[in-house]
Structure 1
Amino acid sequence: MLKNLFDGLTGKLRKTEDEAAVAEPDAPTSQPATQPDTGPVELPPTLGFVAHQPVLDRQQAVVAYEFTLRQGAGQTAARRREFDRMLLRTLRNMDLFRLLAYRRALVHLSLGALEEEGLLGLPERTVILVLDPVGDAPVTPEVLERIDTLKAGGVRFAVEPALYDARLLPEALHDAFFRRMDFMVLDFAAPSTRILAPFLDQLPKRYAHARWFARNVGSAEDLALCLQAPGNNRFALFHGSYLATARTMDNRKQDNGSQTRVLQIMRLLRANADARTLEAQFKLDSVLLFKLLRFINSPVNGLAKQVQSVEDALLLLGRESLFKWLSMLLFTARKDDGHALALLEKSLIRARFMERLGQPQDHRLVEEHLFLTGMFSLLDVLLGVPFPDVIGPLDLPVTVRDALNEQKGPFAPQLALAMACEQGESVRIQTLARLLNRPVEAVGQLYMDAVVWAQEVLRASEVHNNVEAV
C-alpha cells in the first residue's frame, strides 16, 4: 500500500506480484480484483440504505458525512455506473441537500458517473465527489474536461492517489489530474503506521494546493501521525473507527459544575419539585436557563408560544418534555470542545431517530422515553461514569434503564438500530428493521431526517461547527 501511495503520486505505479505480496501481506490472493460482467442485472430503483459516516475536522467536530456504496464493490465500470445512478437517486429521494446547509457531503462515485447530468445541479461548494477507479476504465482527456465543467459549477473533488496506477492514469495526464483535486485521500486501512511515519511529512508537499482527508483512522497513533508530522496543517478531514467509536472524555481538567447543576435540576424535576424550586436552581447558573430556553424555542420545534421561564416550560411542555430538553445541557458544558459537540450531535440523532421509530399507536409518553434513551445513550462516555451510577439517581422509567444498562427491554431494538445506522451495518439494519416492522427504505429516510433535525437544533441554538472552513 505504501508503494502504491508514493508511486501513485509520481505516476510510476506498476507493481509486480512479488511487490504486491510484500506491500499487502494480508490481502486475499484468491479473490479477483474485478468480477466478470455477466450481462444485465435486475436492480431496484433505489438503494435501501446508503452507508454514511461522520467526517471530523482537526478539533474532532463533525463537519461532513461520507456517503459510500458497498453494493457495487468488485463490479465492472458499466455495472458500477448503474449502482452510482442508484446512489444519486437515493440521495435525492432522501433529500440529502437539506443536510448541506449544515454539513458537507463526500460522495464516492466512479469516474464513469461524471457523465451523469444531475451532477451539474449540485449545490455549490457543499459536495465533494470522491473519484474511485473501477475496472479498466482509465483517466482520459474527456474525464478532465468533465471535471473542469463540474468544478465551474461549484463541485469539488477528492481522490486517493494510491488507487491510480500507470494503467489507470497515464503519465501524461498525471499532474493535470491531481492538480484538479481539492482533497487528497490517505487511507490508513492497509499501510502500517510504523512504516508510514517517516514518510508522512512528504505527502502534503507533493501537491501543496490540496488538503488531505485521512480515512479509516483506526487508532490514536494514526491520528497523531496526521496531527503531529511536519506539514500536518494540510490534514483537514478525518474519518475512521477510532474517531467514530465513543471514547470516554478526559474530565480531569474539566470544570463540570454546570453538568452537576443540570443533574441536580433533573433529579428535582423527577421528584416533582415545583417551579419555584427549579427556578431557584437555575438562578445559581443563569446561563443554563438561557441555553435551555434557546433549545426549547428552536424554530424546528414549532411552538405556538415562546417559552420564557421554567414555569412556562412546565405549563406548555410538561415535565417529561422539559426533562428531555434538560438532557441536552449536559453536553454543552464544554462548548468549544469538538468531541463534546460530536457526542451531542450523535446523541441528538439517536434520540430523534428512536423517537420517530415509535409506532403511530404509541402514546406520546413512549416517544418521549424513546427520545431519552437515545439522548442518554452516550452519557456515560460524556461524564466518564458507568451507566448505573450516572442514571441511577434520575429515577428513569424502567424501559429506559433496561435499554441503557443491559441493552434489553422494548427499547433495546430501537437503540441497536440507531447504532447500526451509525456504522452502516447493512445486514444488522435489515434484521432490526424487520423486527420493528419497518422497511429498510423507511429506516434510511428516518435516519436522514434525524441527522438534519439535529443540525437544525444545533444551528438554531448556536451550538454548531465551522463547516465553512471545509
Structure 2
Amino acid sequence: MLKSLIDGLSGRKSRDSVAALAVDTAETTPHTQMTVMFPEEPKPVDLPPTLGFVAHQAVLDRQQRVVAYLFAVREGRIGEAAADRRRQIDSLLLSTLHKMEVFRLLAYRRAFVHLSVASLALPAVSELPAHSVVVVLEPAGDEPLTDADLERVEALKTAGLRFAIEPARFDAVVLAERLRDKLFGLADFMVLDFSASAPKVLAPLLDQLPQRYPKARWFARNIGSAEDMELSLHGPASNRFAIFHGVYLASARRLPTGKVDSSQTRVLEIMRLLRANADAREIEAQFKLDSLLLFKLLRFVNAPVNGLSRKVQTIEESLMLLGRDSLFKWMSLLLFTARRDDGASLTLLEKSLIRARFMEKLGDYRGNRIEAEHLFLTGIFSLLAALLNVPLADALEPLDLPVPVAEALLAQKGLFAPYFQLAVACEQDEWQRVPALAKQLGLDIELINRYHADAVVWAQEVLSNNGVTGDPDSI
C-alpha cells in the first residue's frame, strides 16, 4: 500500500490501487459551529436500513492514556463505493452516530471521523465541533481529487476543523502530484498504517514526510506488535508520533511488574471480608489502615453519575445504603487506582469499566438485577490478571466470586460467557462475531450500539468525576 506514496515522493507515478478499508466515523453536537456552506447533497441512492455494528476503538497518547476514540462502522466494502454512494453512506453514518448520542463522549475524549472527500459537502460536516473532532480524509474509490475538493478542505480548515490524512491512500491515481503538497500541507495529523507494510518500508516515509510537512503530528494506526510500537516510539522521526492505536495496544498486556503493593493487598482483603459476610467493624478496621482507600472509595460511590439521594460518609453508611454486593462492586475499582495513577493501569481501568457497564446494561435489559450485578463483576474482573501480573485464577481465588462469573472468566463457558465474549468482540473490533453473538443472545444490533456507547460515556463520567482521566486537549 505504501509503495505508491514512496513513488510519489520520489517523482515516480503509480497506478496501484489501495486496498479498501472500513470507515471509522463519529458524530457530535457542536461546541463551536462552522458556517461553511456547500451545494446541496444529491438525491439518495439505495442504502442498507442500518450500517451495522459501530466499534469504539481507543486511541492512546505516549503515556498510554486513552485520549480519543475511533468509531468504525463495518458495512461491506465501503471504501470502494462510488462518490455519490459513499456520500450517502457517510450521511447515514453521521445520522446513526447522532442517534447513538456519541456527542456526549466529546466532553471527555476526542473523536476521529473517517469521511471521504466526496462527503465534505454534506451539511452535517460543517456542523461538526471543531474542538473535538478530527476528520480523517479518504478518497472516494478511484475518483481523482479536484481543485474544488481541495478548496472545500481549505475552507473547512479555515473555519476551524482539523484534518488527518493517511498519505498512502492518496496515490497518483486519486491525487495529482501538483495537488499533493497543498493537501498534505493542510493536515494536522499524518496517519501511518502499520498494518500496511513492514518496518523497512515504513522507515523511508518516517524519514521523508516529517521534513516536507513539519507542522503535522503523527498518528500510528494499527499497531500490531511490540516491534511496531518500538518503531513508532524510537524509530526515525519517532518524536513526531503523538497518538497510537491498534490491536497490540487493545490487548490485555500485563503491566511491567508483577509486584502487588500493600494497597492492592488491602483492597483484596476487604473484598474477601465482604464476600465472607464479615462484621462491619472488621471491614472498617482495614480502611483505618489506609485512609486514602476510604477517600477514593467514597469519591467513587458519591460521584454524581451514581445518582445517590445523599452523600455516603462512612463505611457503615456504605453498607447500609449500598449493601455488600454494591460495595464489593465499587471496591473492585480501587484495585486499579490503588497501585498508582499511571497511564497503563488507568487504561486497564477504563477498559474494565466499559466492559462492566456494557454487560450490566444487557443484564438490566433482561430484567434481572442480580444477574446484572454479576455481569458487572464479570467485566470489571476480566482484566485483573493483566493488572496484578498473576494468573487470573490466582487473582480471583480470594474473592469467592459467584459461579457464573468465575465460569465465564476462567473457562469461557456458562450463562455469562456469551455476554463477556460480546463485550470483548465489541471492544476489539471483531465485527464479524458481533452479529453472531447478538443473535445467540437475542439482541438487536442497534441496542448493542447504543448500550456500548452508553458504557463508554459512563466510564468517562466515572473517571472524570474521580480525577483519573486523561487529557483530551493534548491532541
Return the TM-score normalized by structure 2. Answer: 0.90
Q: Which residue of 2 aligns with 1:464?
A: 469
Q: Which residue of 2 aligns with 1:31?
A: none
The amino acid that maps onto 2:286 is: Q
Q: Which residue of 1 aligns with 2:6?
A: 6
Decide whether aligned partners of structure 1 residues 198 and 85 sit closer, same or farther in structure 2, where only a CA change above 3 A counts.
closer
User: Matched residues in 2 for 1:428 and 1:333: separation?
Assistant: 35
Aligned-pair distance for 1:293? 0.7
Structure 1: runs of 5+ lacking an equivalent: 29-39
Cα deviation code 1:56-95 (max 9, x no counterpart): 1111111111123432132222222221112111111111
User: The residue matched to 1:78 in structure 2 has which SS?
Assistant: helix
Residue 353 of structure 1 is aligned with which of 355, 358, 381?
358
Decide whether aligned partners of structure 1 residues 5 and 246 sit closer, same or farther in structure 2, where only a CA change above 3 A counts.
farther
Structure 2: runs of 5+ lacking an equivalent: 21-43
User: Matched residues in 2 for 1:139 and 1:127: separation?
Assistant: 23
Does the alignment pair 1:368 with 2:367?
no
Q: Which residue of 2 aligns with 1:447?
A: 452
Alignment of 1:226-241 (within 5 A): 226-241=232-247
Q: Which residue of 1 aligns with 2:38?
A: none
Q: Which residue of 1 aligns with 2:65?
A: 61
Q: Which residue of 2 aligns with 1:147?
A: 153
The amino acid that maps onto 1:306 is: K
Decide whether aligned partners of structure 1 residues 360 and 93 sit closer, same or farther in structure 2, where only a CA change above 3 A counts.
closer
Aligned-pair distance for 1:392? 1.4
Q: Which residue of 2 aligns with 1:278?
A: 283
Aligned-pair distance for 1:135? 2.1
Cα deviation code 1:327-375 (max 9, x no counterpart): 0011113444211111100100000000000154533222111100000
Aligned-pair distance for 1:155? 1.8
Aligned-pair distance for 1:8? 4.2
Alignment of 1:118-267 (within 5 A): 118-197=124-203, 200-252=206-258, 256-267=261-272
Cα deviation code 1:85-142 (max 9, x no counterpart): 1211111111111011111111111111101101121123210111111223222222
Greater alpha carbon shift after TM alignment, 118-127 vs 40-49:
40-49
The amino acid that maps onto 2:195 is: A
Residue 48 of structure 1 is aligned with which of 52, 55, 59?
52
User: Matched residues in 2 for 1:404 and 1:464: separation?
Assistant: 27
The amino acid that maps onto 2:55 is: A
Kept in 1, the 8 Å contact 2:51–2:73? The answer is no
Greater alpha carbon shift after TM alignment, 440-449 vs 224-233:
224-233
Residue 300 of structure 2 is aligned with which of 295, 299, 306?
295
Aligned-pair distance for 1:258? 1.3
Query: Could you tell me the percent identity over the aligned residues?
Result: 59
Q: Which residue of 2 aligns with 1:323?
A: 328
Aligned-pair distance for 1:230? 4.1
Greater alpha carbon shift after TM alignment, 355-364 vs 274-283:
355-364
User: Matched residues in 2 for 1:202 and 1:305: separation?
Assistant: 60
Decide whether aligned partners of structure 1 residues 74 and 2 sit closer, same or farther in structure 2, where only a CA change above 3 A counts.
closer
User: Matched residues in 2 for 1:309 and 1:104: separation?
Assistant: 37
Return the TM-score normalized by structure 1. Answer: 0.91
User: The residue matched to 1:185 in structure 2 has which SS?
Assistant: strand
